[in-house]
Amino acid sequence: MKEPARRRWLAETKWLADHLEDPTIRIVDMRGIVQTSMTGPGEQYAVYRGQREEYRGAHIPGAVYLDWTADIIDFADPVPAQVAPPERIAAVFGKAGIGDDTTVVAYDTHPASQFATRLWWVLCYYGHDKVKVLNGGLPKWQREGRPLSGDIPTYPPAIFTPQPRPAMRATAAQVLAALGQPNISIADARDADQYDNRLKRGKRGGHIPGAIHLPREAFFDELGCFRTQQEIADEARAAGLSPTNQVIAYCNGGVAATSVLFCLNLLGYQHLTNYDGSWNEWSNRAELPVES
């Protein structure tokens, strides 16, 4: 019998607590932050950073740390925070003890788990489906009084074999070609102020023409836990999404978009694509259309 999608992709805190000593599992702390500041009326600037020091202070026992701003990005790409090429991914995951047979459990402290879901997407994009996101992240783990550690673990190197799935990552040209296609939905995971051009981050404000607004927060409760399957399905239906359509999600840097894609994945959606360049790329290319 096929495992239910929610149980396959979501790890509950009790399950993880029961599997802390499982050698086939690698827990990955993905804590990070997007620091924003106002540079003028309605204009915002963002700085991306990891939280390695916070990890060193205390983390779930046995967890390794990966920095979403350094370890899994392409330093040669002018667009910030783009996914790293295969050879770098193989090296980084292999050094962390993540091999082809490893089950990865990712967590962070973000109220929409967007850094943990970013790792989920990176792994799936590179053909590795043995990955779960911790429901509620570190905050839920701490609320329940579960153990923390300051020890930095080391693991034997592993062999990770990247097998890219091109359909899971869209270029700007592919998004442009998708505009107006009846079988493709484009979802904007950013805040409403950015979508409506009341707040601009980048050279231009607004959104990709025809994109629906589907903020990542819609799928999470006030404690940062994933809503029920029914509630997630209701949000997706209200946004006009269909499991038979391809859904291309974007945000500012291809990270918040993965929260939306992960939740649609919980519903069994099969055709999920991340526009990795997102608004960081789209807003800065004058030849690409904008709707505001």
**Which sequence positions are flagged as catalytic?**
251
With beta carbons less than 8 A apart as the criterion, state whether 216 and 189 touch: yes
Q: Is the dihedral of CA 271, 277, 280, 285 positive or negative?
A: negative
Q: Give the length of the chain.
A: 292
DSSP H or E segment with residue 90: helix 86-95
With beta carbons less than 8 A apart as the criterion, state whether 216 and 224 touch: no
Exposure b/e, 32-67, CB count within 10 A at least 16 = b: bbbeeeeeeeeebeeebebbbebbeeebbbbbbbbb
CA distance 90 to 77: 18
Residue 223 half-sphere exposure, CB side, CA atoms within 13 Å?
A: 12
CA distance 201 to 72: 23
Three-state secondary-structure class, residue 12: coil
CA distance 18 to 109: 21
CB atoms within 10 A of CB 130: 18
Contacts of 8 (CB under 8 A, 6+ apart): 132
